[in-house]
Amino acid sequence: MIRSLAKRLPHPLLSRLYHHVNLREESARVSKAAAIAGLPLLETLNLQSLRTSDTLFVLGSAWSINDISDARWKIIGKHDSIGLNFWPAHPFVPRFFHFENVAYDDHPVMYDAFQSLLTRRSAAYANTVKIVTNVEPLERRQMFFELPEDLKRNLYAGFSMPVVARNENELRAGIRYMRSIGAFSPRAKTAWFFKYGGSVIGTMTLAVLMGYKRIVLCGVDLNRQEYFYQHRELYPEYADWEFVSQKEMHLTTRRLPWLVPAQTAVCLFKELVLDPEKIELFVENSVSTLYPRVALAPQSLFEELDRRVPSRPLQPGQ
């Protein structure tokens, strides 16, 4: 429907119509699904009370994760961090975990692998604050309804809201529209958060809402689809996972009719959302295609963070 309307409606009107329709549909679906699954909604969680540091480390799954030294992991462990999607394949347990629901019919091999991983690591993640998004129509078989009980502890159901954009100018206008309706205003509770393309921008939006002053992107390489867990010596139990060819460019980095490449989207988000709020953004490794448009986190930053002592961790709901 949106694509057919796009041929006739000016983009500002299309953006507003899309947002209001999508917001109503997603809210209703997530509320019903959460009631069936016995999960609390994200809007019941006081996000700002969970922040214990001014810095949030965003943990993606790209190959460069394997280059992070033990010394840096110790520093990351002193501050807040959020793992994305297949992150539980890594031994480091973050403070937060955000994953996107998977429907079986869309990705049966990925579904089985992801469910096996979450089951294996559910006990280790029982006390981690978790957010699941991308709930599918209720009649579809999906991971949301088949999660292990340990993982359901401290797990909250929410949803993300994108914008329609075929090019950089439309994405810029879409982000400005989101800003105008308060999507990036820091607050303790929210039912949804802005996302465009992959999970990284959604996670950065959460960081803005929670009041972080600095974001460090780790394992957000945005080049070929090589993941840290495909290192055979380090992760023999996961190394054979290959849901798409490693030789292909990551889907979110491609220019498609309704998808602005991730590198452009992240830089626009930095310009329009982070910079006005004086929130610093860094990449941990210069192999990221975001570098040098996004600065490399200097060693001096890690030394400074090593000296800082975060505040006392709080439990969900405090």
Distance CA 223, CA 181 (A): 33
From residue 165, alpha-carbon distances to 6, 118, 175, 241, 253 in Å are 10, 33, 10, 32, 15
- pLDDT category at 259 given cuts 50, 70, 90 is confident
Distant-in-sequence, close-in-space partners of 142: CB < 8 Å, separation ≥ 6: 101, 102, 103, 104, 135, 136
In the chain, the percentage of residues whose pLDDT exceeds 70 is: 90
Of 115, 112, 209, 106, which is closest to residue 158 (Cα–Cα)? 209
The answer to whether 287 and 28 are in contact (CB under 8 A) is no
Q: If you write DSSP's letter for every residue of 123-170 in order, what string do you get? A: TTTTTSEEEEE-PPPTTS-BGGGS--HHHHTTEEE-EEE----SSHHH
98 pLDDT more than 80 = yes
Is the pLDDT confidence value at 166 over 90? Answer: no
Average pLDDT in the 291-315 region?
Answer: 84
Instruction: Report which of 169, 107, 176 is spatially closest to residue 143, judged by C-alpha positions.
Output: 107
Q: Which tokens is 225 given?
A: 């689809």
Where is mean pLDDT largest: 46-60, 252-266, 302-316? 46-60
Whether 229 has a pLDDT exceeding 50, the answer reads yes
Helix/strand/coil for 58: strand
3, pLDDT greater than 70 = no
pLDDT of residue 224: 80
Segment 12-40, tens digit of pLDDT: 898 899 999 999 999 999 999 999 999 99
